[in-house]
C-alpha cells in the first residue's frame, strides 16, 4: 500500500488519518487521554494549529518545478559554493535569476527530509502518540516516520522565520526569510533567505587584543579595537533580541554560528530558528467559548510550554545554568515532572547565551568549557567569573556580572540592556571613543575648552613657521585681531572643525537604522571648495548655522576637500561568477575623503572632561586666538 509522502505542500498520510479520528474531538482538553499527562509543546501545536500554520505559509511555499543537479539549478536559483553545513543540511550561495533585470545573491539552505535520524526510543514515542488516535501504524516504515517528524520540525522553523520577518514589519537585525521550495517527491526542502556576505560571526583570533578582518569591514575601520566591535555586536544583537521579545519568540540557540554578518548593511543579524519557541500568548489558538473550559485549556498550554522551556536545547557551552542543574548523584533535577519550573522567564535564556557570545568576542575564549558536555554543565553552575583591573570596563562588567549572572531572577533583561546602551550614548559611533572619549560631545566640549583657557599672551605669528601651502594666504606678523567682524569675510562653520576629527569614523544609526556614511554625505552638500579667499557667496549654501571668524584665523585652516564618490553608474548586477567567489556586492556607493594636511590640532581643545560653563561669545574666540598650542 502506497503512502502520501509528507511535504510542506500537502498533508501526509499520517496527518490525514489523525484528522479523521480527531474531527469530533474538542481541542486541547478532551484530546488528552489522561489528565495527569502533559503533552509535548510541539504535539499540542500539531494537534491544534497545524492547519493555521499551513495556511499562513501557503503564499511563501513554491513547488519545485525544475531541479537539474548537473546544471546546479533548482527552480530559478543557480546554486553556487557551499557556505555552511550542519546536522540538518547545507547552506549554499545562490543567484536568483527569476528577474532577468535584477539578479541578486541569496542564501539557499537545503534540508534533507531523512536527516537527522532518530533513535528507536524517539520513534517509539512518536508511534505511541499516533496510537492515541486509534490509527493503524503497523504499515508505517522508519523512513516515513522520520520524514513526517522532520517535515513537521522544518515547518515550525519556517513558520517562526516568516513571522519574525513579516509580522510588525520585521526587524533589520533578523535574517530575512524570502520563500521555501518543496514537492511531494522531493527528498529536500529548500529555504531561501537574504544573503549576508561576511558569513557567520567570527571570534577566534591569535591573541585577545587583535581584531579580525570581518570586524574591520563591518565598522569600515582597520584600526578598531576589540571593545569597539563588542559594543557594535551588543547594540545590533540586543536590538534583534528586543524585537523577538516583543514578538513573543524565544530563540534558545544564540551563538556565533547563528549570527550572520552583513558587510553591505553593516549589521549583525540573528538566524536559525530551529530551536525557537513562541510563548502561549503569541500562539494562534482558538479557545473554547466557555470560560471554564478556556481556563482549563490555558492551564494545559502553559504546562506544555513550561515543560518544553526546561529542556536542555542548544550548544552546551551556551546553555544557561538554570537548564543544566544536576543532583549530587549526577542525575538531572526533573522539577518539570512536579510542574515546578526552573525557568520562569524564557527570555533570560537568550540573555545568557548572548553574554557567552560577547565574552568570546571580548576575551577570545569561552567562559565555561569542560572536557565533555557534563563537565561543561558543571562549570557553568559552579565556576565564578572574575574581572582583571585592566578589563574593568562598563561592557566587561555588564557581560560578566549581569548577563552571565547565574541567578535568572537577578540576571539583566534585554530591556535593561537597551536602556544601558542609551545611557552610555552608544547610538553614536563607538569608534568616536578613541579620541579621548570626548569627541562624542563634539561642539559642546570644544566650546568648554575654549572658555577654560587661561592664557593671556597673544599668539605670535613671527615665531610660527610659515605653512607651505599655495592654497593658504600668508599672514603678516602685525595682523590685528579685532573683536569686530568684517562682514565681507566668509564665515567658517565651527562644526566642520570637529568633523575633521571624526570624518573617517562610522556613524551608528538611530534605533533600527543602518550604520552608514550618512555624516559624510551630509557634508557633501555644505562643504564647497574654499581654498581661495576671494569667494564669500558660498556661505549661503551652508545648511548649518555659521559663526563668523576673522579672515586671518580662517586662512590658517585648510578646509577639508569634498568627498569623492566612486562612480557607481556602471555598477553591474550579480553574475554567476560571483557565486564561486567571495566578491561583495555593495548596496551603497563608496565615499572616500581626500587627505587633509596642516589642520589645527583641535584635540588640544577637547581633552578636558570637566564641565565648564560657557557662552558663545566673541570673547571665547579671543581666548582661542591667545592659545599657544601646537599645529600639525
| pLDDT bucket at 538, cuts 50 / 70 / 90 | very low
pLDDT at 568: 43
What number is the average pLDDT over the span 66-93? 90
626: Cα within 13 Å, side-chain hemisphere? 17
H or E stretch including 73?
A: strand 73-74
pLDDT (tens digit, 9 = 90+) per residue, 504-525?
433 333 444 443 333 334 444 4
- Domains of the chain are 1-195 (3.30.200.20), 198-275+313-426 (1.10.510.10), 438-632 (no CATH)
Looking at the predicted structure, is the pLDDT value of residue 242 above 70?
yes
Mean pLDDT over 141-146 rounds to 88
Question: Distance between CA 45 and CA 155 in Å, rounded?
Answer: 11
In this predicted structure, what is the pLDDT of residue 583?
57
- 109 has binding-site annotation: yes
Residue 253 annotated in active site: yes
Whether the predicted pLDDT of 107 surpasses 60: yes
pLDDT at 501: 43
DSSP assignment of 337-356 equals GGT--S-S-THHHHHHHHHH
**Does position 258 have pLDDT exceeding 90, yes or no?**
yes
List for the chain the helix, strand, coil content (%; round to 5).
Answer: 40, 10, 50
| Number of Cβ atoms within 10 Å of the Cβ of 458 | 11
Q: How many CB atoms lie within 10 A of CB 398?
A: 20
What sign results for the dihedral spanned by CA atoms 87, 92, 97, 99?
positive
**Is 357 in a helix, a strand, or coil?**
helix
Buried b (16+ CB within 10 A) or exposed e, 95-133: bbbeeeeebbbbbbbbbebeeeeeeeeebeebeeebebb
Longest pairwise C-alpha distance within the chain: 107
Q: What is the rounded average pLDDT of the residues 215-239? A: 96
For residue 480, pLDDT beyond 70: no
State how far the alpha carbon of 374 is from the alpha carbons of 340, 350, 551, in Å.
23, 21, 74
Specify the pLDDT at position 511.
44
List phi, psi (to 5°) of 470.
Answer: -65, -20
Q: What is the pLDDT of residue 378?
A: 95
Cα distance between residue 157 and residue 237, in whole Å: 20
- Which whole number is the average pLDDT over 65-91? 90
Give the mean model confidence (pLDDT) for residues 62-90. 90
For residues 149-158, give the mean pLDDT.
92
With cut-offs at 50, 70 and 90, classify the pLDDT of residue 39.
Answer: confident
Q: Strand pairing partners for 267?
A: 262
323 vs 342: CA distance, rounded Å: 7
Provide the pLDDT for residue 618.
62
Q: Which of 152, 221, 253, 514 is catalytic?
A: 253
Is 417 within 8 Å of 238 (Cβ atoms)? yes
Highest mean pLDDT among 15-29, 343-357, 523-537, 548-562: 343-357
pTM: predicted TM-score of the whole model, two decimal places: 0.68
Q: Is the pLDDT of residue 227 over 90?
A: yes
How far apart CA 477 and CA 272 sit, in angstroms, is 69
Question: Tens of pLDDT along 313-356?
Answer: 889 999 999 999 865 444 555 444 443 457 889 999 999 999 99
Percent of the chain whose pLDDT exceeds 70: 61
Reading phi first (left if > 0) and then psi (alpha if -120 to 50, else beta), residue 86 is in beta
Percent of the chain past pLDDT 90, that is, above it, reads: 41
Amino acid at each position: 500500500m502506497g503512502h502520501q509522502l509528507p511535504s510542506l505542500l500537502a498533508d501526509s498520510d499520517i496527518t490525514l488519518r489523525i484528522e479523521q479520528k480527531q474531527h469530533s474531538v474538542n481541542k486541547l482538553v478532551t484530546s488528552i487521554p489522561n489528565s495527569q499527562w502533559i503533552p509535548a509543546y510541539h504535539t499540542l501545536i500539531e494537534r491544534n494549529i497545524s492547519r493555521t500554520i499551513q495556511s499562513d505559509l501557503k503564499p511563501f511555499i513554491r513547488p519545485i518545478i525544475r531541479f537539474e543537479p548537473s546544471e546546479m539549478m533548482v527552480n530559478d536559483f543557480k546554486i553556487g559554493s557551499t557556505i555552511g553545513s550542519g546536522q540538518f543540511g547545507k547552506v549554499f550561495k545562490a543567484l536568483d535569476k527569476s528577474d532577468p533585470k535584477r539578479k541578486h545573491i541569496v542564501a539557499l539552505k537545503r534540508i534533507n527530509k531523512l536527516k537527522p535520524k532518530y533513535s528507536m526510543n524517539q520513534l517509539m514515542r512518536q508511534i505511541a502518540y499516533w496510537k492515541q488516535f486509534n490509527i493503524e501504524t503497523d504499515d508505517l516504515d522508519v523512513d516515513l516516520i522520520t520524514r513526517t517528524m522532520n517535515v513537521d520540525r522544518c515547518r515550525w522553523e519556517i513558520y517562526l522565520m516568516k513571522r519574525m520577518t513579516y509580522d510588525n514589519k520585521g526587524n533589520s537585525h533578523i535574517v530575512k526569510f524570502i520563500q521555501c521550495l518543496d514537492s511531494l517527491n522531493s527528498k529536500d526542502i529548500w529555504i531561501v533567505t537574504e544573503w549576508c556576505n561576511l558569513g557567520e560571526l567570527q571570534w577566534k583570533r591569535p591573541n585577545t587584543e587583535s581584531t579580525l578582518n570581518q570586524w574591520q569591514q563591518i565598522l569600515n575601520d582597520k584600526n578598531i579595537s576589540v571593545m569597539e566591535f563588542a559594543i557594535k555586536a551588543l547594540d545590533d544583537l540586543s536590538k534583534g533580541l528586543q524585537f523577538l521579545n516583543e514578538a513573543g519568540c524565544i530563540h534558545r540557540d544564540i551563538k556565533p554560528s547563528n549570527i550572520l554578518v552583513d558587510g553591505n548593511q553593516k549589521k549583525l543579524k540573528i538566524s536559525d530558528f530551529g530551536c525557537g519557541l513562541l510563548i502561549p500568548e503569541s500562539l494562534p489558538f482558538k479557545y473554547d467559548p466557555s470560560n471554564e473550559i478556556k481556563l482549563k485549556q490555558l492551564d494545559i498550554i502553559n504546562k506544555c510550554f513550561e515543560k518544553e522551556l526546561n529542556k536542555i536545547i542548544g550548544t552546551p557551552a551556551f546553555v544557561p545554568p538554570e537548564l543544566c542543574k544536576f543532583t549530587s548523584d549526577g542525575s538531572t533535577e526533573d522539577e518539570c515532572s512536579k510542574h515546578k519550573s526552573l525557568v520562569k522567564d524564557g527570555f533570560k535564556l537568550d540573555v545568557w547565551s548572548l553574554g557567552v557570545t560577547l565574552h568570546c568576542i571580548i576575551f577570545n575564549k569561552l567562559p565555561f568549557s569542560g572536557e565533555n558536555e557534563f563537565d561543561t554543565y558543571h562549570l557553568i553552575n559552579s565556576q565564578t567569573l572574575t574581572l582583571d583591573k585592566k578589563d574593568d570596563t562598563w561592557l566587561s562588567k555588564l557581560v560578566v556580572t549581569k548577563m552571565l549572572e547565574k541567578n535568572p531572577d537577578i540576571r539583566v533583561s534585554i530591556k535593561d540592556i537597551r536602556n544601558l546602551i542609551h545611557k552610555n550614548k552608544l547610538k553614536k559611533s563607538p569608534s568616536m571613543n578613541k579620541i579621548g572619549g570626548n569627541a562624542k560631545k563634539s561642539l559642546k566640549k570644544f566650546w568648554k575648552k575654549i572658555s577654560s583657557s587661561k592664557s593671556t599672551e597673544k599668539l605670535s605669528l613671527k615665531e610660527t613657521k610659515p605653512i607651505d601651502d599655495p592654497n593658504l594666504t600668508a599672514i603678516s606678523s602685525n595682523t590685528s585681531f579685532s573683536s569686530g567682524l568684517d562682514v565681507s569675510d566668509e564665515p567658517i562653520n565651527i562644526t566642520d572643525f570637529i568633523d575633521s576629527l571624526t570624518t573617517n569614523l562610522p556613524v551608528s544609526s538611530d534605533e533600527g537604522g543602518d550604520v552608514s556614511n550618512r555624516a559624510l554625505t551630509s557634508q557633501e552638500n555644505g562643504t564647497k571648495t574654499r581654498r581661495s579667499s576671494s569667494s564669500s557667496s558660498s556661505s549661503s549654501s551652508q545648511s548649518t548655522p555659521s559663526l563668523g571668524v576673522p579672515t586671518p584665523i580662517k586662512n590658517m585652516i585648510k578646509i577639508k576637500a569634498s568627498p569623492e564618490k566612486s562612480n557607481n553608474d556602471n555598477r553591474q548586477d550579480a553574475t554567476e561568477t560571483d557565486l564561486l567567489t567571495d566578491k561583495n556586492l555593495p548596496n551603497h556607493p563608496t565615499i572616500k575623503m581626500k587627505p587633509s594636511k596642516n589642520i589645527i590640532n583641535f584635540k588640544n581643545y577637547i581633552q578636558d572632561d570637566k564641565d565648564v560653563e560657557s557662552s558663545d561669545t566673541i570673547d571665547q574666540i579671543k581666548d582661542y586666538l591667545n592659545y599657544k598650542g601646537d599645529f600639525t
